[in-house]
Amino acid sequence: MYYLGIDIGSVSTDFVLLNKKMEVVDELYLKTNGAPIEAVRRGLEAFGKIYDDKQIAASGITGSARHVGAYIAGGDVVKNEITAHSVAALQADPDVRTILEIGGQDSKIIILRGGVVVDFAMNTVCAAGTGSFLDRQAERMQIPIEKFGDYALSATLPVRIAGRCSVFAESDMIHKQAMGYGESDIIAGLCDALVRNYLVNVAKGKEIEETIYFQGGVAANRGMKAAFEKALGKKVAVPNHYRVMGAAGAAILAGEAGILKTAFKGFKTAQSTFESKSFECTGCANCCEVVSILQDGSSVVGRFGDKCGKWSQPGERKTGNLGS
C-alpha cells in the first residue's frame, strides 16, 4: 500500500509514492507547461501503467493548482506548499530549522523551531531568482541549464550583476558579455546576485539558522547552493528528493491523516477529459469569480473561488478536506 502525493505548480507537476515507512518508492517530475489539468492527467496515466488503484491508501495534494487537482484526482488531504515542504523536510531531518525553497515562478523561506513553522515569507512579485528566469538566461546564453552550476563553480572572478530585477539583471549580463567577461564569471555573478535578491526581498532579515535545507528545482544548480553558503557563511544541505519535496510532504500528510477510505478517484481518471470554466457570482457585492471543473464536457466535479462557500462546499464534501 502506498501514499500518493501530487504537487501542482506553475512550472512543474510532481508525483510521489511513499510506502508505509514514509520512504519514496517512486517519483515523477513533469513540466506543467501552463496546463495543470493536462499535467495531472499525464501523471496519473504514467503511474497507472505501473500501479493499481487498490495500492493507494490515501492521497494528498498541494501546489498553486491544488484545488483543481483535488477535484480531478480526488484528494484526502489538500494543503498549502508551506505545510507540505515543511513536513517533507522534517521527515528527512527533524533538526531542520530553515528551508530555502526556489521554484519555477516563486520563492519561499520557511523558519522552523522545534519542528513547528514559526515564520515564512513568499515572493511572487518578481521573476528574478526563480527557475524560469534561470532557464531564460541559460537559453539566451545557449548553455544547458543542467550545466549552469558547473559553469558557476569554475569561475575565477565572479562579476557583479544587478539582481534586484530580472530586466536589469538580464541587461547587466548582456553588458558584461559585451565587455568581454567569461561565461563562467558571469554565471557565478548571476548566482550571487540572485541569492542577494532572495535574502533581501524574501528572507528580509529573518534569522537563518542551521540545519538549512535548499529545496525546489533551482536546488539542482550547484552554483546557487555555493552562493547561498558564501552569503550566509553556513552549510546548506540539498535533500535527496529536493525537486519533489512538496509532493512528498502531501503524501506524508495523507498517510498521517488516518484515512479509512480514500477519496482517490483512481488512475483511470486519466482517460477522462477535464476543462475549467468560470462565471461571476452576483449573489452579493463580492462578485466572486467561481471556477467550475467539468469532466467529459458536462459533469461538474467541483467548484472553487467563492468566499462564502455557496458554490464550493458541495464539491469539497465530495473530495475530502480541501484545507488551507
**Which strands make up the sheet holding 77-78, listed edge to edge?**
24-31, 12-18, 2-8, 56-62, 77-78
Number of domains making up the chain: 2
CATH number for the domain including 55? 3.30.420.40
pLDDT tens over the chain, length 324 residues: 999 999 998 889 999 999 999 999 999 999 998 899 999 999 999 999 999 999 999 999 999 889 889 999 999 999 999 999 999 999 999 999 999 998 877 889 999 999 999 999 988 666 666 777 888 888 888 998 889 889 999 998 899 988 667 777 888 888 888 988 999 999 999 999 889 888 988 898 899 999 999 999 889 899 999 999 999 999 999 999 999 999 999 999 999 999 999 999 999 999 999 888 899 999 899 999 998 888 988 788 888 888 888 888 654 433 333 344
Among 174, 99, 162, 82, smallest CA distance to 128 is for 162
Same domain for 10 and 104, yes or no, is no
Residue 322: the pLDDT is 38
Residue 225 lies in a domain: yes
Q: Are residue 187 and residue 255 in the same domain, yes or no? A: no
74 and 117 belong to one structural domain: no
296, part of any domain: no
Q: Does residue 127 lie in a domain region?
A: yes
Residue 288, domain member (yes or no): no
- Both 232 and 98 in one domain: the answer is yes
Judgement on whether residues 251 and 233 belong to the same structural domain of the protein: no
Residue 316's pLDDT is: 40
Last residue of a domain, one of 187, 220, 238: 238
Same domain, 99 and 233: yes
**109 within a domain of the structure (yes/no):** yes
Long-range contact pairs involving 141-144 (C-beta distance under 8 Å, separation at least 24): 141/183, 141/187, 143/183, 143/187
- 224 and 264 part of one domain: no
Same domain, 156 and 30: no
Residues 72 and 100 reside in one and the same domain = no
Q: Domain span at residue 265?
A: 2-84+247-272+305-318
Residue after which a domain boundary falls, among 216, 238, 260? 238
Residue type, 95: D
Statement to judge: residues 48 and 102 lie in one domain: no
Q: Which helix (H) or strand (E) holds 269?
A: none
d(CA 4, CA 59): 5
What contacts 11, CB < 8 A, 6 or more positions away? 31, 32, 103, 104, 105, 131, 132, 217
Candidates 321, 245, 211; CA nearest to 81 is 245
**Same domain, residue pair 26 and 98:** no
Q: Based on the domain organization, do 128 and 34 belong to the same domain?
A: no
Assess if residue 133 is contained within a domain. Answer: yes
Residue 130 in any domain: the answer is: yes
pLDDT at residue 319 in the model? 39
Q: Is residue 277 part of a domain?
A: no
